[in-house]
Each structure stands twice: as C-alpha cells, then as structure tokens.
Structure 1
Amino acid sequence: MLRQRNHRNRLLISIFLLVSILLALTSVMNRKEHSLTPNIISQTIILIRTSNRCQTRLTYLLQSWLSSSLAQQSKIYLFTDRIKKYTDKRVLKSFKTIIETNCSETHGRFDLCCKTAHEFDFYYHLSRTNPDIEWMCRFDDDQYVNLENLYKFLPQFDPFSPYYIGRTSLNHRLKTRNHSQTFTFATYGAGVCFSRSLLARLRPYVSKTIFPHNCIKQRLSDDAYVGFLTEVILNVTLTSFQELFHSHLEKLDMSFRQFSFAYLRRAITFGFAWDRYDLSWLPIIHQLIELIHKGEQQAAERLWLFLRNYEKEHPNRSEYKRDQTCLPSQTERH
C-alpha cells in the first residue's frame, strides 16, 4: 500500500511538473506573439484629397505633418482632379504617388461623390496586390493629421470587424425619402478611417459607375451617403470620437484657447478653416506636436501658451474672410 501510494504521489508530481512546464512554455509563446505588434504603418493607407485650385495647401502640408521625403510616403496617396492644370510642378514632384480622378474641380455634390468613388476604387485596386492593408484613412488638404497618434489609435480595433471611425457631423440624425431608418455619418472634413472588413462589405455600393449617381438620387453629400450605406444598408454603426477628430465645420468659438494641452496631445486631426485659422498655422502646430513627440514638455507648453495668448489678442483672425489658398473655379469666376 505504501509503495503504491508513493508511486501515485510521484506520478502526480510528475504530471504537475509537466503541466507547469507546458503552461510556462505557452505563456512565453503568448508573450512573444503579443510582443510582435503589427506594423500598423505598412497596413494603413493614407489618402489625401485636393484640387488643382488649391496648390498652396500642398505646400503647407509638406511643411508640416506630411513628410517631403518620398521614401516616407510609401503608403500616402494624393488624389486630385487634373494634373495638367498644376502650375507648380515642384509641388507635384514632392509626392510619391498622385492619382488623377478627372472629376470636376467644383464642390458640387456629384463632383465630390465622383472623387469619393475614386478613393474607394483605388483601395480595391491596391488591395489586390497588397493583401496586408487593413485600414484606409482619408483626409482633406486643409487638415493637420497627427500620424503618430493615428498609428497608436488604430491597433485597438480589429480590422477584420466592420469599423467606420470618425467624427459625427451633425447633432441630429438624418432620414432619406425611401427609408424609415435614420442614420448619422462621419464628416469627411475631420478625417475618416475604414477597416478592411467594412471596405469589403461596401464594395458593391461604391464603384465609380454607381456611387455618384446614387448620391444624387438620395440627395446626399458624399460623406453623408457613405454614412447612409454604412448604417442603413450594412447595419454598421459609426464609431465616433469627437475629442480626437476635428474639422473646420466646428463653431467659430471652438478655438485653440478652449483646448487643454492634454487634449491637444491626444487629438488625431485638426481642421483649418480660412475663416478661423489660415493654413499658415500648420507648420507652427507641427512644431508644437514635434516637441511633444520628443518629450520636450516644457518647451511645448510654452509654445502652446504663446499660441493661445496670440489668438486671444488678435481676434480679427476669426473674422470672415475669403479663402486665399484655393482659387475660384471657372464656373465661380463667371
């Protein structure tokens, strides 16, 4: 009996040790897998929409958040209407990849929907040869984008789930004539990100031959129609982050003075409206963001205080004035 009991105890101890070793190995493997964080930069494409009428804006982008190094633009793509109309060829040479949409340069509903359809079409074309792309984020040419914050933000979401991320455009929900269900949408002016899962589900509805015409049929802008498709047709709710994404559509009294330094550090986009802040502020804001990234906390806070006080002492900068960064289109000139 004693010999059997000792044998059983030795067997239990052996099993316990074996299980402990297996658990330890599993834990190590899990830690290794967890430490292999995905290369979010290579898995995210950045699309920027502009027009030949707004060539000055591109200079400000290159002086701020958008690197002028072509090697660092491998996943950044510029969309414009007609390349041949550019007078500043040096600006064009500063971009690694430029996609010409041949959509009208005006700001009409059909024209904007045409440009949006080209953005989606480009993603589907690119994804055929780049299956590792997990996110498509698109921005306008009058925005500051904190790319480092964006790349830290996206990994908390599963790209294989349908995600539609941005800033809610209106404080009320919309309704179309043919559908009883209401919906909301992310304003394109604040930047929007789509996961690969949602992009796969959107594909039948956003082709260049279908999307612009259905925009008109529903009497919706391009970003509103994307919201309609996403929430009403695909039943995917907008994931809104009002504190991280900002557009030029925000009220004039929503000035930099009302942002705390901590709030600024977290933000992903800022919208620069010519009737509130002109785009010459972009390089200055970029220097501030760079100080934050470098850990120069005290210098960043001092510059922040200067900018806030400057705005307070120069209220005329918030007065209505014509946008000097975009020339009027041919239709607007007549």
Structure 2
Amino acid sequence: RIVHITKTWFNLARKQTYIFTDGDDDELNRTTDGHLINTHCGAGNGREHLGCKMGTEYEAYLASGKKWWCRFDDDNYVNPPRLLELIKRFNWTKDVYIGKLSVPGFSTSYHGKQYNYRFAHGGAGCCISRPLAWKMKPWCGREAIVKTQMEASMNDDCALGFIITALLGVDITLTDLFHSHHENLAVLDPNTFPKQVSLCWSNDNKVDLKNLKTKSKVFDIKEDPSRFYSVHCLAYPKTDFCK
C-alpha cells in the first residue's frame, strides 16, 4: 500500500506528511526524506496496539506546532491541495473537528456515566484544529488514549470522536469530500474525483473508472489494484508516469 502512496499524493505534501508504522524501514525512510516514524507499538491490530499508534500520531502532531492535525489510513488516496482548500474554510484557532460518519452515533458507558457520541470514521480520515487537540490531551496521549479506549470499550477512531463530541462537547463538522470503505465506492462519479479530498480502497470495494469523460490515463487493474495511480493521473495529468 505504501508504494502507491509514495508514488502519488505523498509527493504533493512531502514536508507536511509523516508515515507512522510499527517497524524500521531504511529505504522507505530515505524515500520519505526521514518522515517515517516507528511507533514501537507492535504490529497487532488490537485496541492497545492501534491506540498506541494513534496516541503517537497525536503527540507528534502537538510537537510539530502545526495548525491542523489531519490523519488518514494507508488505504486512502488523499488530494492535498483539495484538503488545504477544505480546512481554509475554517478558523483554525477555534475548536474544529472535520470528518465523515460511518453510522449516525453511538452510546457508551464511561466512569459510571452513559454518553452519546459521534465520530469521524478513520477509514475516511479526519482533521482536528490545534486548540481542540490541546484540549484532548488528558485522554489522548500515547498511554492516555489506550486507557480511554479500554475504559469506554471502543476503537481508536471512536475514541477520538468520543473525547471530542462527548467529553469536550464539540460536534463533528461533516463533509462529503472524505470517502471510506463503509460506502459503495463503485457508485461514485469518477469525474468528480479531482474535487474529492480522500478516496479509500479495499480488494472488494474500490472506485470504478469506466465512465470517465476525459482521456486521462487509466492503468490496468493488476498494475494499479488500488486505482491510486489512475486517480492521481486524473487529478494531476502532468505527473511523469501519467504522460
């Protein structure tokens, strides 16, 4: 998956993009100009491992001094210029949480109290403004978010939404420009892809490029199983491998 990212959208935001993983990879670290971060959280997919990784991302963001924390999974194609256009619509000095729901909402018990909350699905990505990120600190550090997850019985992306919408009382700002594998990606109009911020993929759920109205280069499915190369050529046809 990471090869498709480093050959496409990563190059549009090399200075701002960091890749968090669970091992060392000298070649990938060189390719990304030293932007590979080994979380040392372990390779498991349990709540403890994934929460540790999320907490590591969070702490790295706070240390960066940047205005926005925008995070995406490795099955996302991201369009950085469109992402920038989106977040510029909002005042980063305010508490802002941008994303897309997978389900309307959840309820959970935490410290003996029942809470309703909403969360931005991790498979589509989300953005959090800096003031809001700082307010999340009691529940969201590398160790703290795992503790929050365990006590509230939820996954890492749920925990972000729980902290923000339930504990801090900040509602999610919804956008239709983020897309996860929880929706049928094949029904999306491929001619709108250059306007989207993120597009997810999986082996059994991916975008369909058959109805393109342009002469953009479309790669064979075996060469481009994620469709990232083809989507990138649609949005940025002057890229070398698209000519």
TM-score (norm 2): 0.84
Identical counterparts, % of pairs: 28
Aligned counterpart, 1:94: 31
Q: Check whether the contact 1:105–1:111 (CA below 8 A) recurs between aligned residues.
A: yes
2:14 corresponding residue in structure 1: 73
Deviation at 1:109, TM superposition (A): 1.3
Q: Structure 1 residues 258, 280: closer, same or farther in 2, change over 3 A?
A: closer
Tell me the equivalent position of 1:106.
44
The structure 1 residue matched to 2:106, chosen from 159, 163, 174, is 174
* Greater share of helix: 1
Q: What is the DSSP-based 3-state SS (H/G/I as helix, E as strand, rest coil) of the residue aligned with 1:160?
A: coil
User: Who is 1:287 aligned against?
Assistant: 233
Contact 1:142 1:279 in 2 (8 A): no
Deviation for aligned residue 1:280: 4.0
Paired with 1:147 and 1:186, the residues of 2 have a C-alpha distance of 19
- Supply the distance in 2 between the matched residues of 1:103 and 1:62 (Cα, whole angstroms): 23
Matched, 1:144 2:77: yes
Tell me, yes or no, if the aligned pair for 1:60 and 1:279 is still in contact at 8 Å: no
C-alpha deviation, 1:209, in angstroms: 2.3
Distance in 2 separating the partners of 1:234 and 1:174: 16
**What is the CA distance between 1:258 and its match in structure 2?**
3.6
User: What is the Cα deviation at residue 104 of structure 1?
Assistant: 1.7
**1:139-196 alpha-carbon deviations (Å, 9 max, x no partner):** 111110011111111111000110010111213x211123333111001110110101
Selected match of 2:61 from 116, 123, 143: 123
What SS does the corresponding residue of 2:42 show, helix, strand or coil?
coil
Instruction: Give, in angstroms, the shift of residue 264 of structure 1.
Output: 2.5
Give the corresponding residue for 2:198.
Answer: 269
1:227 is aligned, of 161, 168, 181, to 161
Aligned equivalents of 2:188, 2:71: Cα separation in 1: 26
* 8 A Cα contact 2:22 2:43, kept in partner: yes
Maintained 8 Å contact 1:144/1:282: yes
Which AA in structure 1 matches 2:173?
Answer: T
Matches within 5 A, 1:1-334: 57-67=1-11, 73-83=14-24, 86=25, 89-96=26-33, 97-127=35-65, 133-171=66-104, 173-177=105-109, 178-241=112-175, 243-250=176-183, 254-259=184-189, 261=191, 263-277=192-206, 279-291=225-237
Paired residue type of 1:110: E
Opposite residue 107 of structure 1, the aligned amino acid is: N
Deviations 1:36-79 (A, max 9, x none): xxxxxxxxxxxxxxxxxxxxx111112221119xxx52221111
- Name the aligned partner's letter for residue 159 of structure 1: W
Q: Which amino acid aligns with 2:106?
A: L
Listed one character per residue, the Cα deviations across residues 221-240 of structure 1 (whole Å, up to 9, x for unaligned) are: 00101111101110000111
Q: State the superposition RMSD in angstroms.
A: 2.0
- The verdict on how the C-alpha distance between 1:74 and 1:135 changes in structure 2, with shifts beyond 3 A counting, is same
Q: 1:170/1:120 Cα in 2 relative to 1: closer, same or farther (>3 Å)?
A: same
Q: Quick one: distance in 1 between partners of 2:115 and 2:226?
A: 42
**CA 1:257 to 1:92, structure 2 compared with 1: closer, same or farther past 3 Å?**
same
The 3 A distance-change label for structure 1 pair 199 and 279 is: farther
Conservation of the 8 A alpha-carbon contact between 1:103 and 1:111: yes
Structure 2 Cα separation of the partners of residues 255 and 78 of structure 1: 25
How far the C-alpha of 1:212 sits from its partner, in A, is: 0.6
State how many pairs are aligned.
219
Relative to 1, partners in 2 of residues 1:91 and 1:197: Cα closer, same or farther, differing over 3 Å? same
Q: CA deviation at 1:260?
A: 5.8
C-alpha separation between the residues in 1 aligned to 2:86 and 2:77? 16
What residue identity is the alignment partner of 2:83? L
